[in-house]
Structure 1
């Protein structure tokens, strides 16, 4: 009897606690290391805090050093934080600045959405990728949020990450060169806003960090509860996003959006989570998909450049500003380019932010409409 007790539940509890604490300590260490890698790559890699941890996770998975995935609870928390971040982009000043060109901006946004869906449909018809993964992968905006929500829509998060990162990298690498080619001295205007960056060790956008973090936690929790109550797709992402948008659009002071260090860690977790899903069979599939993905991404970018010409002629703004406003995503890289070239940052951030918000909101709904059997088959 004593032998059975000694091997029973009592001794088993201590190792389980030890394993749990060791697991979370391991994840914390890995996330910090991935963040430091991303930080060191900021000057040479676009969207470094997303791409560098993704590559690091890929290396760990491909070499067999780990087979673990980011804990589900941590992943949901990350999605909620990203939801608040995206919701904060849709603020009254952004809407006011874009109000003078509502019709052209609506047409451009609708056309970009249509181009994304058209490219996704074309890719899905080849049989190399399913419709849900193609749709999320080609959505032009909110790459980190879209990638983090891929699994909830029965999409291959690794393929979605590949397509999104390919688009962001292409935009970030070409935007400065295109603007330099388009811009002329008389086109330059003083920068009227700053990109969405947080300074120093700030974690949220407000001056009072403690209060801001409490508000952030409250909005995340309330948003998830509301999202589940009304049965939103991706409630951990869309619930906090819509609640934050309602708060900011209602004119209330928004001082709780993730910024600086916290935002970088959110991107780090997303990148690391996706990178750890890249197994050798998955990489073989992605390699076969590369030519098609590159062609579709370039085609969308060129079509958006055409939309920029239409927008420039309609609203009478410099073509360089219109190009930056209509690039298919890569908002942080685009706004950094806008500031560096003294473009109209307010206009560019207005168009990019509104489209980003709409894209992330519509993506799950589009997947539900276009792939009704996906959920059943999962």
Structure 2
């Protein structure tokens, strides 16, 4: 992995220009690919890095601000109305969510064993939910953000492309309506936060982002700039203390653009070759997780009486925006699907740092045990043919 140069005032100005161009590109392909405002800038940054046009990172302040705003966005997904709607089925839904976490860990183990990938990158890459948040905190968790992004958005693309067709196959009677925006509410194009009172929403957004980041640092949370605002936003949403503060429209597009561009600028030709070699294995692991989640949906539908199409959309491994758009266009149960997806998204983002730390401790204890065992035998690192 190459070392990126430290940003200077001149490079910051160049980065701002590239950021604006990347944002325009993301806007242009919005109707063509999922997560366009992240993937478009990522591609633009990749081209800049590989061609040598620009190899400097995003300014540290921009990264911290984008993480804090993204944390607020993740926390705002946990809508009380949606959680109340699924409360009667909380036990089977919790079991399905836990099973999805286990599936991700098993797939990560497969990538570590067969692909030679490091544990942190494999685990984050296979986390089924919160793609943008997982990518944003990958570096802080000592994972390779390029590999994590590649795996996360390969899954998002697969889910987004297949969900409408699979829903039609599972439930041919599904009715198609005009798509609506996230959480079933169409946002006006000029809004930068989700509420009708923009100034009040922006003030709440800024307060939650700043106070959450400070609290995350004081509590020594992993990824404090993201998890602190996420937890504070979820708490404020759950108790009704604030609402209408989630980033949307141009502001949301901007923070996704910052994250995508920063990841793209980290690539090199050698990284692209490595990703290409891993593609078959990652695609196989992603497909297996998607099929396993579909099987879980069938079990969930049989156990709870939820329509099979709704159960499938509620349990798809990530791609919440594409899933909610599909649910809205096919007449699905939006409160159910939104509640399950947002709960899992929240839990995945919260659990990711904890799982990384737990796996790191497990690996370290295993290595210490191996060294102790070898020392007791006196034959570690040797065989009949000499040093290994």
Q: Secondary structure at the match of 2:192?
A: coil
User: For 2:171 and 2:244, how far apart are their aligned partners in 1?
Assistant: 35
Asked if the contact 2:194–2:248 (Cα under 8 Å) also holds between the matched residues in 1, the reply is yes
TM value normalised by structure 1:
0.90
Compute the RMSD of aligned alpha carbons: 1.9
Q: In structure 2, what is the Cα distance between the partners aligned to 1:168 and 1:38?
A: 16
- Give the aligned partner of residue 351 of structure 2: 362
Counterpart Cα distance in 1 of 2:52 and 2:334: 45
Displacement after TM superposition at 1:193 (Å): 8.2
From 46, 71, 74, the equivalent of 1:58 is 46
Q: Is the 8 A contact 1:194 1:345 kept in 2?
A: no
Q: Deviations over 1:342-370 (max 9, x none)?
A: 11111111110000000000000000010
Q: Deviations over 1:162-212 (max 9, x none)?
A: 000100011011111111111232x55999985246321111112221222
Q: Distance in 1 between matches of 2:32 and 2:180?
A: 24
Q: Of residues 209, 220, 231 in structure 1, which corresponds to 2:209? A: 220
Structure-2 residue corresponding to 1:14: none
Among 22, 28, 33, the residue aligned to 1:45: 33
Measure, in 2, the Cα distance between the counterparts of 1:169 and 1:62.
23
Looking at structure 2, the residues matched to 27 and 256 of structure 1 have their Cα atoms a distance apart, in angstroms, of: 28
Alignment of 1:61-80 (within 5 A): 61-80=49-68
Question: 2:38 is paired with a residue of what secondary structure?
Answer: helix
Q: Deviations over 1:220-261 (max 9, x none)?
A: 110111001111000000000000111111122312111111
Matched pairs, number: 355
**2:238 aligned with 1:256:** no
Offset at residue 33 of structure 1 (A): 1.4
Query: What is the alpha-carbon distance in structure 2 between the residues aligned to residue 104 and residue 189 of structure 1?
Result: 28
Structure 1 CA distance, aligned partners of 2:176 and 2:152? 31
Gaps of 5+ in 1: 1-18
The residue number in structure 1 matching 2:368 is none
Q: Distance in 1 between matches of 2:343 and 2:178?
A: 19
Cα distance between partner residues in 2 of 1:189 and 1:104: 28
Q: TM-score, normalising length from structure 2?
A: 0.88
* Secondary structure of residue in 1 paired with 2:129: coil
- Structure 2: which 5+ residue stretches go unaligned? 1-7, 365-388
> 1:46 deviation in Å?
1.2
Q: Which position in structure 2 is the counterpart of 1:239? A: 228
Question: What is the aligned counterpart of 2:285 among 283, 291, 296?
Answer: 296
Looking at structure 1, the residues matched to 176 and 38 of structure 2 have their Cα atoms a distance apart, in angstroms, of: 31
* Superposition map of 1:165-204 within 5 A: 165-185=153-173, 188=175, 195-196=182-183, 198-204=187-193
